[in-house]
Structure 1
Amino acid sequence: MKRILIVCGVLFYSVFGFAQNNYGKYSYDDLEPSETQHKVEQFVTQFLNNYHYQKFNVDDELSTKVFNNMIESIDGGHSYFTQSDIEEFEKYRFLIDDALLSGDLEIPFEIFNKYRRVYKKRFDYVMNFLDKPFDFTSNEMYSVDEEEKDWAYSEEDLDKEWDKIITSQALSLKLSGSSDSAIVSTLKRRFDRYESRVAKWHSEDIFQTYMNSFTRAIDPHTSYMIPRTAAQFNIDMSQSLEGIGARLQNNDDYVMIMDIIPGGPLFKTQLANNDDYILGVAQGDDGEFQDIVGWLTDDAVNLIRGKKGTVVRLLLKAKEAPINSEPREIRIVRDKIKLEEAVASAEVLELKDGDSVYKIGLIDIPMFYRDFDGARSGDDFQSTTKDVDVFLKDFNSKGLDGVIIDLRNNGGGSLTEAINLTGLFIPNGPVVQRRTGKGRIDVEKDNDTSVSYSGPLLVLQNRHSASASEIFAGAIQDYNRGLIVGEQSFGKGTVQQLVNLDQFLLSPRVASRKGAASKGIEEEERYGQLKLTTEKFYRITGNSTQNKGVVPDIALPTPWDSEESGESSMESALPYDQISSSTFTKENTITIEVLSKITNQYNERLSTDEEMKLLVKDIELYKKQREIKEYSLNYEVRLKEKNDNEEVISAIKKLRKTKEGDDRANDVYLVEAQKILKDLIAYQEQ
């Protein structure tokens, strides 16, 4: 293959939303594919068939997956199409495989054009409904369970469903303090934006969504980007833009935080998480919030981005939060993304236990970073391993009792650093295995026999610890070198590559003119980019980190189910599997006997410590709230439900990682990790 950029550590997500267009006055005329799109469809199908890690057949089974993904991308809430529409589309279910191979785009464009027509009709109905007074005294219930929702049999059934949708949205605004007139104004602007977004679709938007319905059927980290999206992606990857430091993406009607960039202003607040919805944006400390539900990502970015030093406030709500939960407000000072500030940091914590005081070294690693240019040139360069090595030597000189490596929210980074960091805690040996789609296995090793720290060690992780984080934590666990504590990690055990399709599809004459700005020639990307999965990571035991992640030795209370978040929640995620184990010698610092005793002490705290008992109780209540899929459309009932929810939600906030310098007592996971490490220290001293 030609120029390919490896992306193996940091989580990048496919964009299944629609990019903004500036094509002037828009209409609802049917859109048609271009010749270029026919060509790209056929090429991408063949390319993925040849080079994707997982071999797949372009057959009826794939066709039905693409068909389902496409319908879900268009109308996942079953709110626009009727049962008769879906029955009409069924004739295409097993024809998409042939279309992919031949470059035929008639099916997706027919379905999307039909959607645009029914959308316009539904928009007119909504606007008429908003001209009528709201009834907040109804005893009707509104279901938000999309998986169990059937397609409406008639337009009249859809009308009734939309009456509930609009009333529920109005209730949410009323519960936040809005007047009826303000609610109508907000909802009219919101649905006007929805309509504008659909009306402004260009053929490229339809093509990108259709192609990602295909790539998502193969695996969730494989995606196609149209030229405009690819260009913006490359800008975001290469420039430090002034803003909040987050990658955003449309998810249904919301703008969602997909990735918080280490070193950015949002990262520094430690008040947001991946998968948070952004409901509103306000400028400065006193500005009014602008509702951005229904906005395109591009529009939201333009509103959020601003000059360095200025303030922007966001209203955030977790994707899995109950419908009645109040959004939280956070304040951010805009700044440039400074990756040099997303480096490891260290501090000494003191834990009192009776008359004893334990000194614990805490090392927070937000990402695995490495200055590759500096390393290649032979100059002194910065890296995760070098920084942590300095911290460990300082801890050794101070005679600390134990060390915690905090990998919470660490989405990965440099594989080299994950390997080298492991080497600070073991004499030498294999750290991770890599398998290509053709079956070749490479064993990555730490060859440095020196050990920087040999004392009690605990690694703290959560569901957002991924990729390189999982490689490090998995190796520490496999060597029995330290305790892994927290939540089950994300489970991303795959490697992606970025492929510029222009390198394959542009003619040599046109390709030679690319980048020839000095000659006054401007050539835009014409075919876009493809991101595909090419390798899989395996632990030294032969177990994959894919899908399963790293299961902690001691699992702390969590409100999240592994099937609801992380890799295992993605329908097309590559499976967990095993290969042969590497040859390695365990450290046996964590024996079965020691782990059993520490686990027993932890379980005893769960049943006797009043704060832990309350936390477990609140988590169970929170889980039950999230299981509720039907909500009342009565204001008084919803108000009581909201008030009942708030106390539980405030308890869940204690599970968040605290910002450096904040009161560590509010970080429940870190507090409990210290107690677990104290138990390990005590047993190793015996």
Structure 2
Amino acid sequence: MRIRYIFLGVFLAIAPSGYALEVGPPPVLAPLQQQAQAAHLSAQFLTRFSYKPVPLDDALSAKIMNRFIKSLDPDRVLFLQADIDKFMGDSAKIDDAINREDLQIPFSIFNLYEQRVVDRISYARDLLKQNFDFSVQEDYSLLRDKDPWPQSEADSNELWRKRVKSDWLRLKLAGKTDAAIRDTLDKRYENSLERAYKYKSDDVFQSFMDAYTTSIDPHTDYFGATASAEFDISMKLSLVGIGAVLQERDDYTTIRELVPGGPAQLSGKLAVGDRIIGVGQGEDGTVKEVVGTRLDEIVQMIRGAKDSVVRLDILPADAGADGGHRLISLTRDKISLEKQAAQKAILSLKDGDATRKIGVITLPAFYEDFEARRKGDRDYRSASRDVAKLLVELKQDKVDGVLIDLRNNGGGSLTEAIDLTGLFVGKGPVVQQRDAGGKVAIQSDDLPTPAWTGPVGVLINRGSASASEIFAAAIQDYGRGVIVGETSFGKGTVQTVVNLDQVAHNSKPKFGELKLTVAQFFRVDGGTTQLRGVTPDIGLPGLSDPKRFGEASYDNALPWTKVKPANYAPAGNIMALLPQLQSRHDARVQNDQDFQRFEQDIAELKAQREKQVVSLNETERRNELTAQASRLRSREQINDGVDPGEDDGLQADERSLSADIAIENARKSAKDVLLKEAASILADEADLQEAVPKAATRQLGNADGK
């Protein structure tokens, strides 16, 4: 799964042991009538109202089939070629099936997928009974997404033998005994096996709709009821619950973190590591045992209306499986997700005898509480409002410049991107938007004067997308500040969310929501960020692989294009300073040991990523580890967030909770080499901008003296 733990969100839970002794066939899943109706209604919207409508025909059917199969078996280790041949016999029928509200094709594929998971994982567990010979020369392919499908069960068995051998060798190289390795891998495979018994029809439908919508374009999505709720939470940064981060660990739903100020933390009744055994509603509702229940279902049981009561049956962190339980009552309240909100920090940078104070505002997303704003709530939460407050504080702190950190900010509200730009540029056009009919509209901010007129910098990486790119591009086009980092993602399209239940006039939610692309946005200079992204003024090294991450990695991304420039007046002339900024940056990083070591770690990481195969020969692997250890010993180690160190061979949920949290905290406390350098570049900008008026004054004085 893509999500390892959540804030009371969505997760396909790893169930506790229950099928280990006798593995029967997984449940046969069937589509619900409302799912078929939702698919048909979605198709009507997608074929009529998308920015680039794609007809639901045989050609699109084939694409949907390929994407659906890839989503289930991306590494081609489960299905056989005969399975794929059978599936493709129906590849031209999906369009007709959707139109007649029949979802048997994707459900039959998923049911076979479940059976293949059971077969393959059972085989993997059987392999653990034997010993492996690590002296032979053989390799294991790390990337099989373009390899042929196994032709026979024997071919599949050989793939899985190498896969298990690779897992075993990783643990062996980490110093684990054979007995410990068998226990660890058996538990790992058992957890994977039992996941197949926990899928529901909603999971199949969501996977199928994902394949359909992303076949239209990369950013069209379907949200079932649960996914829609999570999207809403992510935008308004709040929910009603108990304020706990939950994670599936060791067969239990476990408290990973308590949110400061939330009901769970304020009660003093819960601690990190406590396990939830049962959940009851109200003061006297029956407590239902939840051991073995999917985490997303437990989440929905714990969430509820504000001021209502939920009762939890708790197995304390330090108690054994047969230890004493305790029953606690908590009153649900509104929880603010402050960790996902804008935050500020101040970096003090020395330059000779001078010290520059750079204010850093980290913005993880362009959030906005749409519902509160629609209702006229004056205090509704939004990214630009939070940043405006932080700018006031930074002014009081007398900072020399403000750096906006948008790394891994995937976007959000378009309105918030416009409003945020206004805080630094003031009144004027920010972005142009072209609809499906070709009409171009210019969207502007109406803030009379900027909230911050001092030096500005924007730090971006490959994960900066959509609204982040609108903001960074506007700052760049206006000449307002320096853009630093990697070339951004390249998402230049606009989506809107359609509530299918409202369209169908359903009294209760059952169809979900459709997020479809309706427009393309363009910079004020007329270009678009689509495909090419925002190119930084000063580039910094990055971790991402542009071939696999970014708009250009999608096979159906819209092309780059342009429209006429908007009528706007530059707010600065950062271009004139760029040669000096680049020169100072080059000289500084050449003598910065931390930066040089960071670049070495990046190079090593990219070299490892490009390896298509890994040796299963123990001597070769130990030699590789020895060489890596020697490289690390040759220099003073820094914790820079790039982890080229020892591999313990474990997955996150296989370590103790304390060890897992310690690793996470170490990453959080790592030296942020790129942030420091971006702040230094902004300090240079402040220095050079101060020098410009002084030079101009001297020239004017000379002219007057003649």
Interval of TM-score (by shorter of Structure 1 and Structure 2): 0.7 to 0.9
- Cα distance, 1:79 vs structure 2: 1.2
Task: Give me the whole-angstrom Cα distance separating, in 2, the residues matched to 1:424 and 1:181.
Answer: 61
Contiguous gaps of at least 5 residues in structure 1: 1-11, 250-260, 266-282, 288-294, 313-334, 515-524
**3-state SS in 2 of match to 1:362:** strand
CA contact (8 A) 1:264 1:336 kept: no
CA contact (8 A) 2:526 2:562 kept: yes
Is 1:560 matched with 2:547?
A: no
- What CA distance in whole angstroms lies between the structure 2 residues aligned with 1:529 and 1:499? 6
Is 2:420 the partner of 1:421? yes
Within the candidate set 177, 180, 194, 2:178 is matched to 180
Alignment of 1:465-480 (within 5 A): 465-480=464-479
For residue 215 of structure 1, the aligned residue among 213, 216, 226 is 213
Q: 1:597 aligns with which of 580, 600, 603?
A: 580
Q: Deviations over 1:525-573 (max 9, x none)?
A: 4333333233333221222333433221111111323333244334444
1:78 and 1:144 mapped to 2: Cα distance?
Answer: 12
Separation (CA, whole Å) in 1 of partners of 2:557 and 2:425:
32
Distance, in Å, in 2 between the alignment partners of 1:495 and 1:311 is 47
- Once residues 14 and 219 of structure 2 are traced to their aligned partners in structure 1, the CA distance between those partners, rounded to angstroms, is 23
Answer with 675-684 or 158-167: which moved more. Answer: 675-684
Report the alpha carbon displacement of residue 54 of structure 1 after superposing the two structures with TM. 2.3
SS in 2 for 1:54: coil
Deviation at 1:131, TM superposition (A): 2.0
Show the 5 A alignment for 1:429-508: 429-505=428-504
For the residue of structure 2 that corresponds to 1:424, the secondary structure is helix
Q: CA RMSD in A?
A: 4.5
Relative to structure 1, the CA distance from residue 353 to residue 600 in structure 2 (aligned partners, 3 Å threshold; closer, same or farther) is same
Q: Does residue 666 of the first structure (1) align with residue 653 of the second (2)? A: no
Q: Deviation per CA, 1:120-169, whole angstroms, max 9, x where unpaired?
A: 43344223222223433332210011234221222111111110111112
Q: Percent identity?
A: 40
- Secondary structure of 1:605's counterpart equals helix
| Residue 141, structure 1, aligned to residue 146, structure 2 | no
- Alpha carbons of 1:105 and 1:264: their partners in 2 closer, same or farther (altered >3 Å)? same
SS at match of 2:105: helix
Q: Give yes or no for the alignment of 1:51 onto 2:49.
A: yes
AA in 2 matched with 1:669? L
Deviation by residue 1:276-313 (Cα, 9 ceiling, x = unmatched): xxxxxxx95799xxxxxxx9774997999999x9999x
Q: 1:530 aligns with which of 514, 537, 542?
A: 514
- Cα 1:341–1:193 shift into 2, 3 Å: closer
CA distance in 1, matches of 2:687, 2:84: 64
Q: Which has the larger radius of gyration?
A: 2
2:72, 2:113 within 8 Å by CA — same for their partners in 1? yes
Name the structure 2 match of 1:195.
Answer: 193
Separation in 2 of the partners of 1:450 and 1:496? 30
Task: Spell out the pairing of 1:90-101 with structure 2 (5 A cutoff).
Answer: 90-101=88-99
Structure 2 CA distance for aligned equivalents of residues 598 and 533 of structure 1: 39
Partner of 2:687 in structure 1?
682
SS in 2 for 1:653: coil
Whether the aligned pair in 1 keeps the contact of 2:409 and 2:465 (CA below 8 Å) is: yes
The residue aligned with 1:129 is: 127
Separation (CA, whole Å) in 2 of partners of 1:36 and 1:302: 21
Are residues 16 and 168 of structure 1, via their aligned partners in 2, closer, same or farther at CA, if it must alter by over 3 Å? farther
Q: Are the counterparts in 2 of residues 17 and 209 from structure 1 also a CA contact under 8 Å?
A: no
For 1:189 and 1:535, how far apart are their aligned partners in 2? 48
The CA deviation at 1:426 is 2.4
Aligned counterparts of 2:417 and 2:410: Cα–Cα separation in 1: 12
Change beyond 3 A, Cα 1:572–1:239:
farther
After alignment, is 481-490 or 642-651 more displaced?
Answer: 642-651
Deviation at 1:417, TM superposition (A): 3.5
In 2, are the aligned partners of 1:216 and 1:223 still within 8 Å (CA)? yes
**In 2: Cα distance, 1:384 partner to 1:622 partner:** 34
CA deviation digits over 1:146-199, x for unaligned, max 9?
234221222111111110111112223334443322322332333333333334
For residues 383 and 211 of structure 1, do their structure 2 counterparts lie closer, same or farther at Cα, with a shift above 3 Å needed?
closer
Q: C-alpha distance in 2, partners of 1:231/1:446? A: 30
Contact 1:429 1:447 in 2 (8 A): yes
Equivalent-residue separation in structure 1 for 2:227 and 2:458 (angstroms):
38
The Cα shift of 1:623 comes to: 0.7
Alignment match, 1:239:
239
Contact 1:141 1:631 (8 Å CA) reproduced = yes
Deviation at 1:672, TM superposition (A): 1.0
| Bigger relative CO (Cα 8 Å, ≥ 6 apart) | 1
Preserved CA contact (<8 Å) 2:358 2:400: yes
* Letter of the structure 2 residue corresponding to residue 604 of structure 1: A
